[in-house]
Structure 1
Amino acid sequence: MWKAVASTVAVASIAMGVNLAASKPAQAQDLALNLCTYVQGDDRMRMRQRIREERIRLRQVYEGVRCNDLSLIQFALANGSMDIGTFMVSQLPASTLSRTGDLAWAEANGHGDSEVAQAIRERTED
């Protein structure tokens, strides 16, 4: 299952505004692959550790990382990774959650009743 993730991870400008310099695309690719793997395995602790090691915030890289052409939250929903999905929702600003369309995707793909979708609704209400 890990190989399926590895072969389809796409990174779009993950290095912008982060400690990962544009001259280190392999490091950015490695980080993206790790994040996708942690989401697939519902491993919140390892994700938090890796983010801390890189001295970044999830909000800095969230929109640049795609797993099997899905955002990290969409990928969490598709894999039933509710713990890490709700963690990511708590780490992202409401504006990012609104802009990415993760809630609309969840509702359109049968995940509208999930705890992650509910967490997104709560964060984006105002």
Structure 2
Amino acid sequence: MKAKLITLATVIAATSFISTPVAANDQLAQSICSYVAADNKNNLRKTLADNRLRLRAVYDGIVCDGLPLVRHAIKHNAADTAGFILSQLPGSLVAASGDAEWAASNGFAASPIIATIKERSAS
């Protein structure tokens, strides 16, 4: 009986730390998109912390106006928020994303975010 209780407690504790993916039409995702567009890094960080989410865990599931978060930040010239997002992602993901090439081909070649992308891709 004691072994079953310990096993049950372990399972409950383990599953409580697993975050659920965020759907693109979810209110949380919409809030994140609006904070990125407004270049409001503090509210983005607070929202993630309040919901106990790690950006790298939900990054692939959030699409804003048909764009990934970094491209959405480039489109809205949200340099502070883009810097925060890029710092939370693995360098290999940033390097493989093609965001710098997308920016150059869509008229955002002068964006200061591209320098941050290239710097993060190198690490």
How would you bin the TM-score normalised by the shorter chain? 0.7 to 0.9
* Count of residue correspondences: 107
2:112 to 105, 110, 115: 115
Larger radius of gyration between Structure 1 and Structure 2? 2
1:46 to 43, 46, 62: 43
Q: Give 5+ residue unaligned stretches, structure 2.
A: 1-16
Report the residue type matching 1:49 in the other structure: K
Using the alignment, how far apart are the partners of 2:58 and 2:21 within structure 1? 13
Give the TM-score of the pair, scaled to structure 1: 0.75
Q: Which runs of 4+ in 1 moved over 3 A?
A: none
Q: Percent identity?
A: 34
Superposition pairs for residues 1-126 of structure 1, below 5 Å? 18-20=18-20, 29-125=26-122
Q: Give 5+ residue unaligned stretches, structure 1.
A: 1-16
Using the alignment, how far apart are the partners of 2:40 and 2:111 within structure 1? 18
RMSD in angstroms over aligned alpha carbons? 2.3
Using the alignment, how far apart are the partners of 2:18 and 2:116 within structure 1? 27
Inter-CA distance 61–111: structure 2 relative to 1 (3 Å threshold) = same
CA apart distance, 1:31: 1.5
Report the residue type matching 1:56 in the other structure: L
Using the alignment, how far apart are the partners of 2:115 and 2:38 within structure 1? 21
